[in-house]
Structure 1
Amino acid sequence: MRIGLFPSANYSAKKDIGPMKQMGDSHVISDVLALGKGVAGSQQVLCLDGASILLRKLSLDSISKVEYENNHFCFGVHFLLEGNYSFVSTESKSRLNITSGSYNLVQWPKTNGVEKLKGREYTSIEVFFTQEFLEDLLGTEYNSAFEKFDNTLVDKPKYLWNEMKPIPGRLRLLLLDILHCSYTGIARTNFIESQIRCLLIEVFLGKENGMEQIGGEATLSTLDKEAIDEVVSYIKQNLKRKLTIKELSEVAGFNTTKLKSCFKKVHQTTIFKFITQLRMEKARLLVLEENYTVAQASYEVGYSNPQHFTVAFKKTMGYLPSLLLTNLS
């Protein structure tokens, strides 16, 4: 039984897409669909008993529109690191949207519709699963994690969290480890499966990210949230520069105290820890995907002293940046 969204039979026939190819072992499916003109990168599916995992690392020249269908009632946790996602149901015309840097839990009925992917760079992980899969994973903790949700069948996709949740640091590191796994064959399959299980446990039971946060967080106005989004966008565009709280306060239109308070409510960390994390993530990608040396990568993310970069990288990522080079050999 296939769990989650897959290219519809109608779309596959129109686009002359053949059967999905098995890669390495019976669980991993690569090249789920022909990516099409103006789309580069990769997307893969890992199929488990009662769950499926969709990994996407894409570059888009324009909006990508693909017909998808779901043939079995399930749930999905959608993590969007870069880009913007929407799904419009064919039957109900209802729309789901996931924005860059956030995630949400969705109840998926049997349905079909059109997925739209936006963004020059599009990076996501989507985990679809049955209620039974989550019960087996969480055991006796399942009821406390899921008791607030209506598990009855619905006729259209439905958010189970009222608002998008920002992806906090710990989850972001788990997601990046999955997306950039360097293992092959069954070792890669087992690594991704184990990390996904850890990810779901953290989402549903973790103190910083779990269910107990829902309804308990101090809420921000829409304008304040938009201001924090502007600050994050500004940070991403200026990682190489030395950034100050005063400068970022001016971007937000807040005083420094309000900026620090609002930022922590949204991202569950301080501004400077957030900036450091983004810098380390970018440096890692520069080494792994663009063949930068560690010294070059450190300079590109604002470190003139490679030793200071090494200390920050080890503290943030948990290992020395030199270990990245072993993945390239």
Structure 2
Amino acid sequence: MTMEFHMQLSDMHDYFPQFLASMQATLRDRAWEQQAIAPPHIGTGGITRLRIRPGMEIVITDLQLEEDMKYTIRENFQLLELSYSLSGQTYCAWNGQEKQIVGKEGSVVFLEDEEVYLERKAGMRNQHVEIRMSPEHFLSYSENGEDRPVFEAFLQRHLGSVEPYDVTPAIQKCVHDMFFCTYQGPLKRLYMESKAMKIIALVSQGFSKPTATRGRTHLRKQDMEIIAGVRETILRNLENPYSIRQLSRLAGINECKLKQGFREMYGMSIFEQVRQARLEKALALMETEQLTIGQAAASVGYSNASNFTTAFRKQYGCNPSEYTRRHFFAKTT
């Protein structure tokens, strides 16, 4: 079964109320902060919208769907969005173009008067942080004049596109802090805006520097299907992962093409995919089954808890013990 929705938007702030109505969600309204709680037939979790100021809002999604969700959005205005997917799977298509977003990936979305088609998969946790703003608001961050050409070039380059941006540890830390923010009231609003501003600066500065990793090679559809199958094999064998040579032989694909194609499709190496998926699974075990840090580490193949802690801190910007304290606090407030 599939849920299908259609939305016609004339302003960036229309998105949340229309999505709320289409989901028949329960609303928790706290002035500038609204939270939509999904009904059981839709799934579990919800979507939070923080109206920071006119022309800017932050949308945080933490939703596990009962059925695949498909929706068509017609936007009759310019919208710039810096999004980051922590988990889940999203397919989007617009103006004859298409993109698949899987797992951890940051995207710059800048569309004008477009019809956008989106699909989100059921049975997995869809977690996203989206900084949505008008182009005018984005340009307001370059008031000193020297940075304005960089910001203007950024807009010009991305108009009509959905493109990945280079995700740095600093950006990951900001996203993590926003997703698990425990502040309330005016302090939360200030905190969230400060983190969003930092992400805006990091992403726009990243595009002002040349990088050798932007070039993409063309993969045939058959190659993409094989590499997607390799990824599924990796995710099913996290405790005892295959070597690249073993994966290459199992899939019948050249090692070099596998490594290059995997990075092109998923924005990370196979080793990074294994590490990320292990940490995500460990997080889920700590959250849903209340496993200790040592138990979660062992369950995903880490024989040494200190190695797990080091990898966790590098990925999320804090130790597992700090994360579990913050997560527990967020659930009880």
After TM superposition, the score normalised by the length of structure 2 is 0.73
Match of residue 282 from structure 1: 281
Work out which of the residue numbers 198, 217, 220 in structure 2 matches 1:219.
Answer: 217
Deviation at residue 39 of structure 1 after TM alignment:
1.7
Letter in 1 for 2:81: G
Deviation at residue 221 of structure 1 after TM alignment:
1.9
Cα pair distance change 1:215/1:326, threshold 3 Å: closer
1:122-164, Cα deviation, whole Å (9 max, x unpaired)? 222222211122112245334235426559xxxxxx7425xx5
What does 1:78-227 correspond to in 2, within 5 Å? 78-80=83-85, 81-86=87-92, 98-101=100-103, 102-109=105-112, 116-121=119-124, 122-139=126-143, 140-147=146-153, 149-150=155-156, 159-161=160-162, 164-165=163-164, 168=167, 170=169, 171-206=171-206, 212-213=210-211, 216-223=214-221, 224-227=223-226
Quick check: 1:244 aligned with 2:209?
no
Work out which of the residue numbers 33, 54, 57 in structure 2 matches 1:28.
Answer: 33
The 1-side partners of 2:24 and 2:297 are apart by 45
The 2-side partners of 1:217 and 1:35 are apart by 43
The 1-side partners of 2:56 and 2:253 are apart by 44
Quick check: 1:59 aligned with 2:58?
no
Q: Secondary structure at the match of 1:73?
A: strand
Cα pair distance change 1:189/1:247, threshold 3 Å: farther
Say if 1:260 and 1:271, in contact at 8 Å, map to a contact too: yes
Deviation at residue 196 of structure 1 after TM alignment:
2.1
After TM superposition, the score normalised by the length of structure 1 is 0.74
RMSD: 3.9
1:284-325, Cα deviation, whole Å (9 max, x unpaired)? 343245422101110121113323323433444443322234
Cα pair distance change 1:242/1:273, threshold 3 Å: same
The 1-side partners of 2:76 and 2:83 are apart by 18
1:208-249, Cα deviation, whole Å (9 max, x unpaired)? xx7745994142324445544433333233222233121232
Any stretches of 5+ residues in structure 1 without a counterpart?
A: 152-157
Cα pair distance change 1:253/1:48, threshold 3 Å: farther
Work out which of the residue numbers 5, 8, 12 in structure 2 matches 1:3.
Answer: 12
1:250-280, Cα deviation, whole Å (9 max, x unpaired)? 3554333443344445556543234223322
The 2-side partners of 1:247 and 1:228 are apart by 13
The 1-side partners of 2:316 and 2:182 are apart by 16
Deviation at residue 120 of structure 1 after TM alignment:
1.7
Match of residue 321 from structure 1: 320
Deviation at residue 62 of structure 1 after TM alignment:
0.8
Higher mean C-alpha displacement, 290-299 vs 95-104 = 95-104
Q: Secondary structure at the match of 2:123?
A: strand
Say if 2:49 and 2:57, in contact at 8 Å, map to a contact too: yes
Identity of aligned residues (%): 21
